[in-house]
Structure 1
Amino acid sequence: MRASTKVAELLSDTGGVKGVILEDGERIEGDVVVVSAGAGTGPCSKRRE
């Protein structure tokens, strides 16, 4: 698992990160924000539990 450092840094500046963001869209913990190239669309948007 590789953390998307650039995306994590950008969101960290806004204070919107509550977990680890991975490039492949996988979540490590339940309180993780998933971000993809098409945020809000695609399979990632359907993984919210």
Structure 2
Amino acid sequence: ACKAGGLLPFANFNRIHVCPPCNVSDAEAAEGLAILDQALEVADQHVTG
């Protein structure tokens, strides 16, 4: 879901790393977080318990 949204995070065990460029705007940061939030909603659908 992240890749489909154009976001390429790095997952390591229980952490997700997102490294935006130094010149990211507030709008771009908000867009990236929205993509990550959407991807986590997709992941939630696959978790039971």
TM-score of the alignment, normalized to the shorter chain, above 0.5: no
> Whose relative contact order is higher, 1 or 2, with alpha carbons under 8 Å and at least 6 apart?
2
Query: Bigger radius of gyration, 1 or 2?
Result: 2
Q: TM-score, with normalisation over the residues of structure 2? A: 0.27
Q: TM-score, with normalisation over the residues of structure 1? A: 0.27
Q: Which has the higher strand share?
A: 2
